[in-house]
Amino acid sequence: MVNDMLIFIDIARQIMGIGALLLGSLAILIGALGLLRLGDVYQRMHGAGIIDTGGAGLVLLGLLLLSPDWTVAVRIALIGGLLIMTSPTATHAIARAARFSGVEPILSTDSKEKEG
Amino acid sequence: MTLTLWFGVTLASIGVSIIIAILRASLGPTAFDRVLAVNTIGTLVVLSICVYGFFDGRPEFLDIAVLYALINFIGTIAILKFFRHGTLGDHLPPEDKHHG
């Protein structure tokens, strides 16, 4: 009885881990498309933000659910905490440096697109 | 094992995204596009190191991923400070940009 319960928990953990990995892959692809197709530095930061939060968070959650050992899980949690702390700081620094060095954001929603 | 297939799918999508980010880093009009793309490439390389450790069955690669995440953040901040105080500095003369 307890053995059946453990097998069920293991299968559910693997299914949830694979689902999180696939959703994270989808988020990474969407963020990369945004990084390629959007028109401005400040708009492209949305794509980078999708990769940094949604993609990295979901892929690391999937690996955390699929981890075979608790030391591996601790290391994945360490990487996740590090990415959560550092990547918004880096994106904020890029936006601040771009703003202070005179890169103007696209503010109007007209049909004409400014290149750069 | 059937888990290897899903790790492979994740690695493939991370690889495609790295190629797209390299494209953006090569044709980005301003320097900040390139810095943003390089930062994104660093995050994706950290993720791909983690997933490759699981793909290969050797999760010892995670230590390398921790180090790479730290070095990526420090490198981005260093490049931005170089842009701010080197070539695009507001109170430094532009001839002082070859210090570091």
- Window A:28-57, CB contacts with B under 8 Å: 28-29, 31-33, 35-36, 41, 44-45, 47-48, 51-52, 55-56
Asked whether the beta carbons of B73 and A86 are under 8 A apart, the reply is yes
Q: Given this model, what pLDDT does residue B93 score?
A: 52
Residue among B16, B17, B97 with most chain A CBs within 10 A, to mutate: B17
* Range of weakest confidence among A46-50, A61-65, A106-110, B94-98: B94-98
Q: Given this model, what pLDDT does residue B18 score?
A: 95
Q: Given this model, what pLDDT does residue A1 score?
A: 76
Give the model's confidence band at B95: pLDDT under 50 very low, under 70 low, under 90 confident, else very high. Answer: low
**B28: closest chain A residue by CA:** A116
pLDDT of A31 higher than 90? yes
Kindly report, residue by residue over B19-63, the tens digit of the pLDDT.
999 999 998 788 889 989 999 999 999 999 999 998 888 878 888
Distances (CA, A) of A40 to A9, A73, A100, B39, B96: 46, 38, 16, 17, 30
Cα torsion angle, A85, A25, B22, A34, sign: negative
- Window A:73-112, CB contacts with B under 8 Å: 75-76, 78-79, 82-83, 86-87, 89-91, 93-94, 97-98, 100-101, 103
Kindly report, residue by residue over B56-65, the tens digit of the pLDDT.
888 788 889 9
Q: Given this model, what pLDDT does residue A113 score?
A: 53
Q: Is B74 on the interface with A (CB under 8 A)?
A: no
Q: Given this model, what pLDDT does residue A97 score?
A: 85
Q: Given this model, what pLDDT does residue B100 score?
A: 43
Q: Given this model, what pLDDT does residue A105 score?
A: 81
Kindly report, residue by residue over A62-77, the tens digit of the pLDDT.
999 988 888 889 999 9
Instruction: Measure CB to CB from residue B47 to each of A59, A72, A98 and give the nearest one.
Output: A59
Mean pLDDT (chain B) is 82
